[in-house]
Amino acid sequence: MSKDSGRQNLLVSTRSEDAVGVSFEEAILQPVAKEGGLYTFQSLPTLNKDDIARFERLSYSELCEDIFARLGLGLDTHILKEALQSYESFDDITNPAPVKKIDSDLFILELFHGPTRAFKDMALQPFGKLLSSFAKQKHQDYLILTATSGDTGPAALESFAHKENIRVVCLYPQGGTSDVQRLQMTTQNAHNLKVLGIEGDFDDAQSALKSLLADSAFNDALAQRKIALSAANSVNIGRIVFQIIYHIWAYVSLIKTHSLSYGEKLSIIVPSGNFGNILGAFYAKKMGLPIGRLVVASNPNHILTDFITSGVYDITQRSLIKSFSPAMDILKSSNVERVLFDLYGAKRTKELMQSLEKTRRYALTSSELALLQEHFDAFFCDDEKCLQSIAAAFEKGHLIDPHTAVGYYVAQVLGREKLGKCVIASTAEWSKFAPIVESAISSRDTHQALVDKEAIKAISQYQIQGQNVCITQSIENLFSKTEVHREILKTSQLKENILHWLDEA
Ligand SMILES: *Cc1c(COP(=O)(O)O)cnc(C)c1O
């Protein structure tokens, strides 16, 4: 079988100084690294101006193949090609992530044209195929655990439904997702999928997942059943790789439309939660893509904004606020750790992360903060401003979701003078958060927001740029499907429930 040529780039743990790496395949299958760290690239390849000029002639899949080869991840070409066929299920196979102009020098990178209408599809659809190919090749059964604030779950379930050697358990915070998001999970009818509501918020679901992964009795019980455990959350490096590529695609797309000239800097604004999306942009920048500022946009849970402006990451005084942009309602933002590793090395990363675990807080030195701020800016948007941004974008002929609206607001606040030409990562289609979007554009009090189904119908009555608003078929269909997964559990009941399901299945 053909492998991509050149030296294989091993992945190393963010918390381990002995640079003993593992292969990409191992890192995907066993995503938690030594000493609780995350697998990360030892080195990144460099793109020069000619490479970027050449990218102009590549299709999206060809660009993916090119970047994978440069990263030297040692993947079988046919496995990668098969995974990349996932983009055939996107709206436009020639352009799975279109860039649109919203204002002068301000663009939107639409990452929501996949089957579940959020940016998670960009990585999770091909990732699911990769993982099941690896599992099949090894003749090993895997249980994939995933915790979701609403968008990862649907994308993971869609990606893994009916896949051989794979079973998936998906945990979501009960009441913490939109109706559309919940239905996208609970109506997924495949023998290898299990969806469980958790009493608690997303951080509770994520903690439950982490403790199951680390639970030796649970792992033993799985081993007895000849099942290995893996996770599909955004800490998995297999997802991050795909998230580098669309930022490069955005840059190249703007070159193609003469909106940007070669070498000109482009700033990227990313509505951020677990920091996976913007980490992809950070890696693209490290590889030499001419990125100006990397802007982290957050919602009322603005721990990331505080961290990037002050150098102090502090959860001691905080509790999670339920906001209009729930996919960013997170306090422990996992992928920050990879940036720490990149900027300050493994030893310091371990120190900082241990401090976070023990004291729920850590602080950078002033020189460390300066280094962080060489790359990142940050600002946050409260719920009121979020509504106003949705309405303002709508006036200009763009229907944006609340997460994208957070980015749009931050773009206005930081201003073109600071950012130059700028692209906002649009992370979800409006239809996933229709009650808030409808309230914003009809000036309805959000306490009287319509339910998802009615809000979608109401929005479809509007016209935008002279055309009726379209509802994506798969979203419309959700409301007539049966909810096959209805269980709501306490986290303490998970272990037993999952093992029971495995024995039944
Ligand atoms: C997951 C998600 C985010 C946050 O992305 P991270 O990679 O976790 O920072 C933002 N918006 C939407 C709609 C999402 O689904």
Confidence of residue 330 (pLDDT cuts 50, 70, 90): confident
Long-range CB contacts (within 8 A, 24+) of 133-141: 133/79, 133/82, 133/83, 134/25, 134/28, 134/29, 134/79, 135/29, 135/164, 135/165, 135/166, 136/164, 136/165, 139/165, 140/165, 140/226, 140/228, 141/165, 141/166, 141/167, 141/226, 141/227, 141/228
Residue nearest to atom 2 of ligand 1 (CA): 327
Q: What local confidence, expressed as pLDDT, does residue 213 receive?
A: 84
Spell out which residues line ligand 1, taking CB within 6 angstroms. 118-120, 151, 234, 271-277, 327-328, 403, 427-428
Evaluate if residue 21 carries a pLDDT over 80: yes
Q: Please give the Cα distance from 187 to 265 (Å, whole number).
A: 44
Q: pLDDT digits over 352-377, tens only?
A: 999 999 999 999 999 999 999 999 99
- For ligand 1, pick from 294, 301, 427 the residue to mutate: most ligand atoms within 8 Å of CB: 427
HSE-up (13 A, CA, CB side) for residue 199 = 7
Let me know how many helices (H) and strands (E) the chain has, helices first. 20, 17
Q: pLDDT digits over 440-478, tens only?
A: 999 999 999 999 999 999 999 999 988 999 999 999 999
Q: Which secondary structure element, helix H or strand E, spans residue 467, and what is its range?
A: strand 467-468
Alpha carbon distances (Å) from 460 to 56, 346, 428, 434, 438: 36, 51, 17, 10, 10
Q: What local confidence, expressed as pLDDT, does residue 207 receive?
A: 86
For residue 229, report the phi and psi dihedrals to the nearest 5 degrees: -110, 140
Confidence of residue 30 (pLDDT cuts 50, 70, 90): confident
Vertex 80 angle, CA 76 and 83, to 5°: 145
Q: What local confidence, expressed as pLDDT, does residue 2 receive?
A: 41
Beta bridge partners of 8: none
Residue nearest to atom 15 of ligand 1 (CA): 151
HSE-up (13 A, CA, CB side) for residue 75 = 30
| Distance from the alpha carbon of residue 143 to the mean position of ligand 1, in angstroms | 24
Burial class (CB in 10 A: 0-12, 13-18, 19+), 198: buried
Residue ranges of domains in the chain, CATH in brackets: 93-115+238-430 (3.40.50.1100)
Return the DSSP state at 22.
B
Q: What local confidence, expressed as pLDDT, does residue 94 receive?
A: 95
Q: Please give the Cα distance from 393 to 395 (Å, whole number).
A: 5
Q: Which secondary structure element, helix H or strand E, spans residue 446, and what is its range?
A: none
**Position with higher pLDDT, 200 vs 284:** 284
Q: What local confidence, expressed as pLDDT, does residue 442 receive?
A: 97
Q: Which secondary structure element, helix H or strand E, spans residue 40, and what is its range?
A: strand 39-41
